Amino acid sequence: MSWHLFTVFFVSTFFISATPGPNMLLAFQYGLNYGVKRTLWTLAGLSLGLFILLLSTLLGLDVVSRQSPWLLDIIKAVGALYLIYLGVVSWRDTGKTSLVDDARAMDAEVTEDYYATLNSSHVKQKNLKPRTLSSAAVKVVPSNLILFRTGIWVSLSNPKAILFFAAFFPKFINFNAPLWPQYILLTLGLFVSETIWQIVYTVGGKQLAGWLDVGDRLAWLNRACGVIFMLIAAALLAEVINTLLA
């Protein structure tokens, strides 16, 4: 992989990572609720979940490229169509809702799901009636282990990430060259950009949310990501067409 191609990949992922998705919103709200030091456990969980999804995607692409090269062209074509869809959705996202409200909704959903799971486990193990959790119970500061597991759960509960990786990564991989050095380089690039923005949302999330909520700033960030998606989709389709015509 050339450094030029890696630079394009890193800049693209850096912009895309900046958008307030589930991982970033969780980092933002937990940073406000529990402080930066405690939220580092959640960031570690988010990174582990992201790594599991990414590794699954890369292993799948590796198997396909070696055993069914023709299927790789289909994946590229379908991935390009998916990126075009993401591009249109991102372009049309005006970002009118408050990031603070979105983050609080995300926090409430995660908390509700966690205690529902905990309650279900309690009922099954003790054969008891379900407990009604008071608002005071929900506000109890979770342990570091719970923060870590929550981060993993939020990452893994987003299966769209696998579809996105499968659509996004093939454009930056030369399947005729050794693959694992490229996988390692792309993984490092993705993790650096994700980690930077997770820390930004955790440490300065309130200031960032206030800045993005002014005017159309978030809308323009979404549009920039939409353009990136569609440019990569066009490049993928061009590769597929060249392969068919070769």
Domain boundaries, the chain: 3-101+144-240
Share of the chain above pLDDT 70, in %: 78
Q: How far apart are the C-alpha atoms of 35 and 153, rounded to whole Å? A: 20
Give CA separation, 153 vs 52, 128, 139, 158, in Å: 11, 26, 19, 9
Q: How far apart are the C-alpha atoms of 206 and 27, rounded to whole Å? A: 11
pLDDT in tens, 115-171: 555 555 444 555 544 444 344 444 566 788 989 998 998 888 876 788 888 888 988
pLDDT in tens, 81-127: 988 998 898 888 766 666 666 666 666 666 665 555 555 544 455 55
Q: Give me the amino acid identity at 209.
A: A
